[in-house]
Amino acid sequence: MASMSILAAKFTRLLKKTCNLSTIKSLRSPQNTGKIIKTGAGVLAVGSAVLYVGHKYTRGNVVYAARSRKRDDELQKAVRLTVRERRFIKFASVEYDGQLYMTPQDFLDSVVESEPRPRHKRRCLTDKELETITYSTPSLRYGGTHMFRTMRDKGIVSYTEYLFLLSILTKPQTGFRIAFNMFDTDGNERVDKNEFLVMESIFSHAWRGRHGGLSVQITEGKRARNYDNMLEDEDQGLQRRNTVDTTLMVHFFGKDGGKELKYEGFRQFMENLQHEVLELEFSEFSKGQDTISELDFAKILLRYTYLDMDEYDKYLERLLDRSEDSIDITFDEFRKFYQFLNSLDDFSIAMRMYTLANHPISKDEFLRAVKICTGASISQHIVDTVFALFDVDGDGQLSYEEFIAIMKDRLHRGSKSQPRGEGWEAFKYCVKQEMKGP
C-alpha cells in the first residue's frame, strides 16, 4: 500500500499545472489512489512509446548536434572565453564568411531560455540569403514591440550588437539619452553609421576587459584552427571584421547605410525591445491569459538570481504562507515594476537614506521612493507581493538590502538563465487556493 501511495504522489506532480477543482478534490480522497495509479500507468505507457519513437527519429539530429558542440568545445579550449562570449557561441545559429551570428530569435532565446533550440548544425548563409535578409529588414519607422519575434531567423546579430542589446534591457529610461549622446560623438543630435560602429566597438572592448577578457592560449605549440582562423590574434576573436551590414545596421541606417539615427527613433527602439522581452517572459507564464499569478510573478523575479534551490523555495514558501487572497497581476503592472528595477541604483541611494537614520522602510515609503526615482507609480498589489517575499520577519518592513542584492542579480540575464520547474511549492499554492473555496 505504501508503494501505491508513492506512485500516486509522483503522478499528482503531473497534474499540478492544471490546478482545477475536480483534480484537487480527487487528490484529497485516499480511496482514489487506485484510480490515480491506473491513470498514471496509462500515461507512463504512452510516454514510453513516445520517447522510444522520438529517440529513433531524432538520433540523427543528435549526431549533428554533437558534432556542432564538439566544434564549439574545441574553440573554447583554444581560448579563455567570458561567460557572455560562451553564451553567444552557444546560441548563435548562423555563420557567414567564417563569423558567427545570432538571429533575432536566437537573441530572444538567449535572454529567456537556459538552452538554445535543437538544431542539426549551424546554417551557413549564402550571399543570396543575406541579400534577402537585408531587403526584408524593416526600417526604423516600421519597428515595433514584436519586431524580433516577427523576424525570427530572417536577420543577423553580431557579437558586439548582442552586448549592446543586452545592455538595453537593464537601462532606465533616463539612461536612453545618455546612451544616445555617447554614440553622438560630434554632438549634432544625429548618429551616423560610422559613429555607431566606432562606439559599438569601444563598448564591446570595455565590456570584455571588465569581464575577464578574451586571451588566446595556444596548447602544444599549435595555433587554434577553428572557424577559419577566427582567432588569429587576441583582438579579433568574436570581434573580427564585419564584412556585412547586420540587421541592426540596416534597421538604423537603411539599406545603403546613408540614413542618420535621431534620438526619438533610438529611444523608441530601446523601449520596444524592453517591452518585447518583458512580454515574452510574461506570456511564458500567462499561457495566453491577460494575467499571471503572484507565484508566477515571484518565479520570474527570482529566475536569474544565484539563489540555490533551498533558498529559492524559502522565498516561494514565504509568499505562499502570506498570500491570503490570490490576486492576479496584469502585464501593465508587471511592466511598470520592471521599469522600476532598471532604476535600482537610484532607488538604492534613496533607501540608504532611510537606513542611515535607522528608519524602517514601510510600504508607503517604498512607494514614495519608487515615485521619486522613476517618476512613475507601481501598484499597491505589486508592493504587497514584494513585501511578502522580502519582509523576512513579517513585521511589515522591507528587508531592503536583501531585496536590492537579489534584484541586482537580474543584471546577469543573458549570461545565465535558471528557469525553475513548477515544483512542490507551485502545487501547494494551487491546493491552497482550491481549499479556500469561492
The DSSP line for 164-218 is: HHHHHHT--THHHHHHHHHH-TT-SSEE-HHHHHHHHHHHHHHHHHHTT--EE--
Question: Cα(first)–Cα(last) distance of the chain, in Å?
Answer: 34
Compute the distance between CA of residue 239 and CA of residue 159 in angstroms, rounded to an integer: 7
CA angle at 146 for the pair 140 and 149, rounded to the nearest 5°: 110
Is residue 233's pLDDT more than 50? no
pTM for the structure as a whole: 0.70
Judge whether 294 and 429 are in contact, CB under 8 Å: no
Given this model, what pLDDT does residue 294 score? 92
Which residues make Cβ contacts (< 8 Å) with residue 70, sequence separation at least 6? none
Given this model, what pLDDT does residue 204 score? 60
CA dist 307 → 112, 315, 336, 409 (Å): 17, 10, 24, 10
Look at 103-112, 131-140, 206-215 and tell me which has the smallest mean pLDDT.
206-215
% pLDDT > 90, the chain: 31
**What one-character-per-residue DSSP string does 26-74 give?**
HHH-GGGHHHHHHHHHHHHHHHHHHHHHHHHHHHHHHHHHHHHHHHHHH
Given this model, what pLDDT does residue 304 score? 76
Give the pLDDT band (50/70/90) at residue 73: low
Is residue 377's pLDDT more than 60? yes
CA dist 431 → 15, 60, 135, 153, 405 (Å): 11, 43, 53, 41, 32
**What one-character-per-residue DSSP string does 121-153 give?**
S-EE--HHHHHHHHHHSPPGGG--TTHHHHHTT
pLDDT digits (tens, 9 = 90+) for 75-121: 555 457 788 888 999 999 999 988 899 999 999 999 988 889 888 88
pLDDT digits (tens, 9 = 90+) for 305-328: 778 888 888 889 988 888 777 789
Judge whether 7 and 40 are in contact, CB under 8 Å: yes
pLDDT digits (tens, 9 = 90+) for 388-409: 888 887 888 877 777 887 887 7
- What number is the average pLDDT over the span 319-343? 87
CA angle at 108 for the pair 183 and 298, rounded to the nearest 5°: 105
Given this model, what pLDDT does residue 309 score? 87
State the residue for C-alpha cell 512542490.
424
What number of other Cβ atoms are within 10 A of residue 394's Cβ? 11
Is residue 344's pLDDT more than 50? yes
Given this model, what pLDDT does residue 139 score? 93
Compute the distance between CA of residue 251 and CA of residue 273 in angstroms, rounded to an integer: 13
In 3D, which of 341, 340, 338, 293 has the Cα closest to residue 319? 293
Q: Where are the domains of the chain?
A: 1-80, 81-267, 289-436
pLDDT digits (tens, 9 = 90+) for 276-291: 999 999 999 998 899 9
291's grid cell: 494575467
Compute the distance between CA of residue 24 and CA of residue 6 in angstroms, rounded to an integer: 17
**What one-character-per-residue DSSP string does 325-350 give?**
S---EEHHHHHHHHHHHTTHHHHHHH
User: Considering the chain, what is the average pLDDT of its residues?
Assistant: 74
Residue 108, judged by CB atoms within 10 A of its CB (0-12, 13-18, 19+), counts as buried
Look at 30-34, 115-119, 224-228, 369-373 and tell me which has the smallest mean pLDDT.
224-228
Compute the distance between CA of residue 413 and CA of residue 171 in angstroms, rounded to an integer: 13
Which amino acid is located at 32 in the chain? N
Is residue 348's pLDDT more than 50? yes
Given this model, what pLDDT does residue 14 score? 44
pLDDT digits (tens, 9 = 90+) for 411-433: 666 555 444 444 444 444 444 44
Higher-confidence residue: 218 or 406?
Answer: 406
pLDDT digits (tens, 9 = 90+) for 164-191: 898 888 888 888 898 899 888 888 999 9
- What number is the average pLDDT over the span 54-81? 54
Is residue 1's pLDDT more than 80? no
- The secondary structure of residue 416, as a DSSP letter, is B
- What number is the average pLDDT over the span 209-220? 38
Higher-confidence residue: 67 or 144?
Answer: 144
